[in-house]
Structure 1
């Protein structure tokens, strides 16, 4: 498979991951599946790690990766492969944007998982009863959150998905950095501009 084709595969993988992260972040605005006042939503949700970091910022590199295989490589000082090499080199910059966005989402998710959800702890008092992620290893502490119902599992599962998805996105973008360097230095093995087709 040529480096452009491999980049396209990475782009195809990044798109559903980005959509999933956006949806997870949106669901976090409804703790336990309930509508609550904005001040009762965990701070980390408002940092938009899933929407901005693993979502919007990931769309740009994904689209660039998708277009690399069909990139027009003609017309660079008479060198047919020059355009293709430049495209592969520029994809490294977009991969760096993807790593930054996914990294931001991973950091936000890690902080949220460590802090725990914002919930009703005593009567109508809202607070964060957990500290240093102690609830992650001791599920008996979950009962400290009285409402919204199921808030701890909601918080834990959605932020865990964001964390894992962010790590996968970072890995895929890091792979594209290597692939982009290989394509820029060695050239894309696929033919272009009417040349031989090469391996696909």
Structure 2
């Protein structure tokens, strides 16, 4: 069935995206490659939401494996189409879980980008860009407000942008599978019903 082949391709695509989300989130704990800021709890608050590790990462393995191993539930009432519809319906439920995880990662990443990093300023540790509605993203002159960690603004923008982009792709993939799964579930039952009636 074409819809099952599509689901398998989508599942394979989700694996590297999930792994990259986990890596990007882990790197956020080590601005400029240093561990002391995590140990001293001087990182942006959104890092502790584990958005890339859980939402865009671990949680995405469930739909990925369901999509890649999609099969039949075994049929019911002697109708093979029922089993295929059951399998596609299961993939829709897994895709909805994936949508929740990737959507969570997308939203938190967007909020983190808008808030900007927590860093040492002349007034102490603070969020110097929190009230700027993300204008600092294009105003490089303001980045000098962060004295420490070194290059923390570039570090945060790069990694949160990667998480935003990757989770956005995951949202699209899971949404495609919701549609694909519903079509496979409905059309699969219809097609198999027609085959059954023609063979009878």
8 Å Cα contact 2:136-2:143 kept in structure 1: yes
CA distance in 2, matches of 1:107, 1:74: 39
Unaligned stretches of 5+ residues in structure 1: 192-200
Structure 1, residues 76-105: CA drift from partner, whole Å, max 9, x if none? 221112111101011111111111101100
Q: Is the 8 A contact 2:72 2:87 kept in 1?
A: no
- Specify the alignment match of 2:198 in structure 1: none
- In proportion to residue count, which structure has more helix? 2
CA distance in 2, matches of 1:147, 1:37: 10
1:144 counterpart residue number: 145
* Partners of 1:73 and 1:81 within 8 A in 2: no
SS in 1 for 2:121: strand
Cα-to-partner distance string for 1:47-89 (whole Å, 9 max, x where unaligned)? 0110111111111111100011xx1453422111211110101
Give the structure 2 partner of residue 26 of structure 1.
26
Specify the SS of the correspondent of 1:40.
Answer: coil
Which position in structure 2 is the counterpart of 1:198? none
8 Å Cα contact 1:74/1:81 also seen in 2: no
Contact 2:72–2:86 under 8 Å retained in 1? no
Shift of 1:151: 0.7
* Distance of 1:61 and 1:37 partners within structure 2: 34
Residue 196 of structure 2: aligned partner: none
Q: CA deviation at 1:121?
A: 1.0
Residue 34 (structure 2) pairs with residue 5 (structure 1): no
Which of residues 63, 66, 80 in structure 1 aligns to 2:65?
63
Counterpart-to-counterpart distance in 2, 1:121 and 1:26: 24
Counterpart-to-counterpart distance in 2, 1:103 and 1:176: 15
- Tell me whether 77-86 or 3-12 shows the greater mean CA deviation: 77-86
**How many corresponding residue pairs?**
188
Matches of 2:80 and 2:135 in 1, distance apart?
59
Q: C-alpha distance in 2, partners of 1:169/1:143?
A: 34
CA distance in 1, matches of 2:155, 2:117: 9
Question: Paired residue for 1:130?
Answer: 129
Alignment of 1:37-48 (within 5 A): 37-38=37-38, 39-48=41-50
Which residue does the alignment assign to 2:80?
80
Match of 2:103 in 1: 103
